[in-house]
Amino acid sequence: MLFSILRNSFLKLIFFLYLFVLIFFPLISLSDINQAIKKSNTNIIFLRHALAPGYGDPEIFRLEECETQRNLDSKGIEQAKSIGDYLKINNIQFSEILSSEWCRCIDTAYNMNIGEWKKFEGLNSFFQNFSSKQKVLKKLNTKLKGTKSDDLVLMITHQVVIYNITGISPPSGGFVLYNSFTKNALEFEPNLSAIYN
């Protein structure tokens, strides 16, 4: 009788431990971004827009006309949604979310669905001189200088902009964690596959 009770209690304990690992282990593996933000004293996260096949923009580019630009494909849209899910699961709260005025950045922000965001000219691409590099970087550097140490601002932008500020060229959907005071930058690629495992 006593043996049977002890055996049942032990089996229940094993079962609950199994459930705990099953439920919480993915969250533990996803906490790397929180640790990286804390370790690097990040107050800016640069995000390169999600997957948009091609190179540059067509010569007929018009800022207000998405059909004249290189845009997210179906994989890019899904990637943006996954990035949003990743940030939500990790409870990353932004003090501000800014996006380049390019449609592929706007669509990344929209599909991430993590809160209110606004367009910011200081994140526009100057890769093909559709924007003035000097004007963009002046606006961006002014914004960076005005960002407080306890802020966490998400900036959705382009490879050329991120590289000019941080010296890092992340892949589509990749993060660069940045401290605007020390200028330290850390490339961080989220493990999006872990969200659904």
pLDDT tens digits, 40-98: 999 999 999 999 999 999 999 999 999 999 999 999 999 999 999 999 999 999 999 99
| 166 torsion bin: left (phi>0), alpha (psi -120 to 50), beta (else) | alpha
Residue-wise pLDDT tens digits, 182-192: 999 999 988 88
Cα–Cα dist 19/38, whole Å: 29
Q: For position 145, what pLDDT does the model report? A: 98
Q: Does the residue 189 lie in any domain?
A: yes
Q: What is the pLDDT of residue 1?
A: 57
Phi, psi of 156 (to 5 degrees): -95, 115
**SS3 of residue 26 by DSSP:** helix
pLDDT tens figures, 100-155: 999 999 999 999 999 999 999 999 999 999 999 999 999 999 999 999 999 999 99
In a domain, 19, yes or no: no
- Angstrom CA distances, 153 to 12, 67, 79, 138, stand at 45, 29, 20, 18
> What local confidence, expressed as pLDDT, does residue 20 receive?
47
Range of the domain at 180: 31-196
Q: What is the mean pLDDT of residues 4-10?
A: 55
For the residues 152-166, what does the mean pLDDT come to? 98
- Any idea what the CATH number is for the domain that residue 103 is in? 3.40.50.1240
Residue 3 covered by a domain: no
The number of distinct structural domains making up the chain is 1
